[in-house]
Structure 1
Amino acid sequence: MDGDADIAATAALFADPARVRVLLALGDGRALAASVLAAEAGLSAQGASSHLAKLLAAGLVTGERSGRHRFYRLAGDAPELLETLARFSPARPVRSLREGTRAAALRSARTCHDHVAGQLGVAITAALVSHGALATVDGDPTTARRPGDRISSQLRDHPYVLGPAAPAVFSSLGVDLEAASSARRPLLRFCLDWSEQRHHLAGALGAAVAERLLAAGWLRRRTQAHRAVLLTPAGSAALGEILGI
């Protein structure tokens, strides 16, 4: 018979700052080579390999060999676990202007696995509701956290459905709603944004929106922090015209 879950063993994996940096570098859903993760976490190749071995054994990451390199990505619910821990964790002291800029960038706009989070992600979701692309079914017309929401990144249940203006609004964004609807994963999922404590769009539709924003050049990835993304002038103009953001 198995005993209770060994939460302490899992928690110990997050007690090493360098190991956490490895996980955060994978937080946008991409697969990265060990050498890239070592550079991102400020580790030697041997140090990165040691951390990755522990994360593999715990099932928090998966590895896939391609040619001479092995690439790693977050496994299963690890992205949601990271967001949950971030919600419970105090802000790290900012010791330099660069660190402060990166922290602000993550709060402003970042990827949460494969969709947009932060202030921008929350603003997009709220605008989709106000423009009728999404509709709430619980009597609360906002994207605020509901009393029953878990303090976690992805909601088990959500109060949203596609609204009557969904085809027109998503078409104006360049998002193929029919293609997103045919994906194997759920079309509509929502996360409780850890920095904003409001809902942002996830699921197949959230991924399609993020992919479109990046492909159109409305968002671009920042080079100093993989999860942080930047709203470009063209993106600001487009989202202002289409969604009133």
Structure 2
Amino acid sequence: MVTTAAMAETAAMVGEPARAAMLSALMDGRALTATELARAAGVMPQTASAHLGRMVEAGLLAVERQGRHRYHRLASPAVARMLEGIMAVAGIGLRQAKPVRVGPADAALRAARTCYDHLAGRLAVGIADRMLERGELELSADGGAITASGEAMLGTLGVQAHPDHARKGRLFCRPCLDWSERRPHLAGVVGAALCARCFELGWVTRIDGSRALRVTRAGEAGFAEAFGLAPGD
């Protein structure tokens, strides 16, 4: 049973203005760095780090590590529901007071690019979203899995990926937190195989001097048919 002391402690944690601003900034489902959250809250990075540490310890936030970066996100849907309720009572809806711009400013990089050997950007996050919605993909903080229907769908595209193809120390399927979208795209053996196949099919081509990719006309049709993605999605 939740004690009144625990309830008061949680309320106090959310009630501090800087922490409330950071929690609000995370309500769109993205994961943000301490620097980005400091900017959203209008506080110094050191102050933000102290607040974030307390919220992680309290179970309001979780930390994801991607390379040398640390990203913070809401710890659970229960936390999001609590914040939604507070926002509704406070009469501010779900609007974010201070938008947080993340990732590259270059529009082409934000739209589609390579992340080592797999697809990234809005295109890749859209693919992962569609596969999750259709039950073809399962992702968690610890890893991922392609379902039977996902294997069948990828097979129709000619994507050759099997757990036996995973090299030692490399996962077959895993989420990769997208630099610009701050939501997961598909990595691991499956992500690499899908990326390679998109190049083979001529759906994407490289933009000289950049990691950015251009989606061709064939790609627009292919991504629309396979994943229900329209240009600009």
Task: Give the C-alpha shift of residue 177 in structure 1.
Answer: 2.7
Give the aligned residue type for 1:236: E
| Greater CA drift, 115-124 or 188-197 | 188-197
1:35-50 to structure 2, matched below 5 A, reads none
Task: Give the C-alpha shift of residue 209 in structure 1.
Answer: 0.5
For the pair shown, which has the larger CA radius of gyration, 1 or 2?
Answer: 2
**Distance in 2 (alpha carbons) for counterparts of 1:190 and 1:89:** 22
The residue number in structure 2 matching 1:183 is 166
Q: Is the 8 A contact 1:133 1:170 kept in 2?
A: no
Q: Which consecutive unaligned segments of at least 5 residues does structure 2 have?
A: 1-65, 73-99
Q: Is the 8 A contact 1:193 1:199 kept in 2?
A: yes
Give the aligned residue type for 1:222: I
**Distance in 2 (alpha carbons) for counterparts of 1:173 and 1:91:** 30
For 1:164, which of 148, 154, 157 is the aligned residue? Answer: 148
For 1:106, which of 104, 109, 122 is the aligned residue? Answer: 109
Task: Give the C-alpha shift of residue 173 in structure 1.
Answer: 1.9
Q: Which consecutive unaligned segments of at least 5 residues does structure 1 have?
A: 1-78, 93-99, 139-154
Q: Is the 8 A contact 1:128 1:243 kept in 2?
A: yes
The number of residue pairs the alignment matches comes to 135
Q: Is the 8 A contact 2:145 2:174 kept in 1?
A: no
The residue number in structure 2 matching 1:131 is 134
Q: Is the 8 A contact 1:132 1:164 kept in 2?
A: no
Alignment root-mean-square deviation, CA = 2.9
Task: Give the C-alpha shift of residue 130 in structure 1.
Answer: 2.1
Greater relative CO, 1 or 2 (CA 8 Å, sep 6+) = 1
**Distance in 2 (alpha carbons) for counterparts of 1:229 and 1:133:** 25
Q: Is the 8 A contact 1:172 1:242 kept in 2?
A: no
The residue number in structure 1 matching 2:59 is none
Task: Give the C-alpha shift of residue 85 in structure 1.
Answer: 8.6
Do residues 217 (structure 1) and 202 (structure 2) align?
yes
Provide, for residues 113-148 of structure 1, a one-character-per-residue CA deviation record: whole Å limited to 9, x for no partner.
Answer: 111111011001111212322135x7xxxxxxxxxx
The residue number in structure 1 matching 2:3 is none
Do residues 80 (structure 1) and 63 (structure 2) align?
no
Task: Give the C-alpha shift of residue 174 in structure 1.
Answer: 1.4
| TM-score of the superposed pair, with normalisation by structure 2 | 0.51
**Distance in 2 (alpha carbons) for counterparts of 1:230 and 1:85:** 29
Percent sequence identity over aligned pairs: 39
1:109-124 to structure 2, matched below 5 A, reads 109-124=112-127
Q: Is the 8 A contact 2:119 2:191 kept in 1?
A: yes
**Distance in 2 (alpha carbons) for counterparts of 1:164 and 1:197:** 27
**Distance in 2 (alpha carbons) for counterparts of 1:91 and 1:167:** 31
